[in-house]
């Protein structure tokens, strides 16, 4: 059984001006997401700026999220690292907080071989009992986990069950699902490819767009699952301009800017991320207005 089905939000981490986590605001965002129909909360992922949090902040935010959600929707915690020992530590600690699953990014910078990736993920998985979603985003990590390796992991390691596929390579996703034989739950990691990947048997999306449009992203998935393929497709196409604007600068710069434009007051970004360029802010505003959320 899938950890979740539908649209899971890769939730942002709101900060105070001094860079500390704004837990009061984070709690508000969680409530907004659940009220908006989000199907899962993914905490401490790329969009949550996990790479700039201390280990203590990282784990405390996972704990806080799990307690705040309190079982209303699944919580998936990002606990990946380019250091296997660090990923084991974060994963075993997160498991204690009652999360429903873990999201493990491919180890960045090291550029591990496929055998190295297998050993890395198996070592982490063997340290916990939670179900695990692999996260393939080679544009950020410099490392691509191949379909054969994904299928091997999901076949040979009982609690590795899924992948968030954010390579943007539809052909790779097709090959993965052709090899998977039902053993891999596929989630889109790109908001502009949700319907195409669901057409391959995907379970939904781990979404940036859901931060600003949770109901709409939920509906794209639900319409598809309900058999309204045309309605799902129309909603996907209607969102394309906004999807593009949300990635006109590196994530999560635009989505945090968008939330601030909506009055959500999620605060600044952690360095080395910087303020959005003024011309791109105008592009984002226009896309949000066209989509009807500003």
Contacts 24+ apart (CB under 8 A), 112-117: 112/143, 114/145, 114/146, 114/148, 114/149, 117/143, 117/145, 117/149
Residue of 135, 203, 223, 291 marked catalytic: 135
Among candidate residues 215, 214, 172, the one with its CA nearest the CA of residue 196: 172
With a CB cutoff of 8 Å and minimum separation 6, the contacts of 254 are: 245, 246, 247, 248, 276, 280, 284
Cα–Cα distance measured from residue 288 to residue 242, given in angstroms and rounded to the nearest whole number: 6
- What H or E segment, with its residue span, contains residue 145? none
Q: Decide if 164 is catalytic.
A: yes
With a CB cutoff of 8 Å and minimum separation 6, the contacts of 100 are: 3, 4, 40, 74, 75, 76, 130, 131
Report yes or no: 76 and 91 within 8 Å, Cβ to Cβ. no
Residue of 5, 25, 164, 264 marked catalytic: 164
Q: Decide if 135 is catalytic.
A: yes
Cα 205 to the center of its chain, rounded Å: 8
Strands 185-188 and 204-207 come out as: parallel
Cα–Cα distance measured from residue 222 to residue 288, given in angstroms and rounded to the nearest whole number: 22
List active site positions. 135, 164
């Amino acid at each position: 059984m899938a950890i979740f089905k539908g649209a899971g939000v890769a939730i942002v981490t709101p900060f105070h001006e001094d860079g500390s986590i704004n837990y009061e605001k984070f709690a508000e965002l969680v409530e907004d997401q659940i009220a908006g129909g989000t199907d899962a909360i993914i905490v401490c992922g790329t969009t949550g700026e996990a790479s700039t949090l201390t280990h203590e902040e990282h784990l405390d935010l996972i704990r806080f999220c799990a307690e705040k959600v309190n079982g209303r929707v699944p919580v998936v915690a990002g606990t990946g690292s380019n250091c296997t020992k660090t990923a084991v530590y974060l994963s075993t600690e997160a498991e204690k907080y009652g999360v429903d699953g873990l999201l493990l990014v491919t180890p960045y910078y090291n550029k591990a071989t496929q055998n190295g990736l297998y050993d890395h993920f198996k070592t982490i998985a063997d340290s916990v009992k939670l179900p695990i979603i692999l996260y393939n985003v080679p544009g950020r990590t410099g490392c691509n986990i191949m379909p054969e390796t994904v299928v091997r992991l999901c076949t040979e390691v009982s609690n590795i069950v899924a992948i968030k596929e954010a390579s943007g390579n539809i052909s790779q996703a097709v090959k993965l699902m052709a090899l998977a034989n039902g053993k891999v739950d596929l989630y889109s990691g790109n908001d502009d490819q949700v319907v195409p990947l669901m057409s391959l048997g995907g379970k939904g999306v781990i979404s940036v767009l859901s931060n600003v449009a949770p109901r709409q992203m939920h509906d794209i998935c639900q319409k598809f699952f309900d058999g309204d393929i045309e309605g799902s497709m129309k909603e996907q196409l209607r969102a394309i301009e906004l999807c593009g604007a949300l990635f006109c600068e590196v994530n999560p710069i635009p989505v945090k800017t968008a939330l601030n434009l909506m009055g959500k007051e999620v605060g600044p970004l952690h360095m080395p991320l910087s303020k959005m360029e003024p011309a791109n802010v105008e592009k984002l505003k226009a896309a949000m207005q066209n989509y009807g959320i500003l």
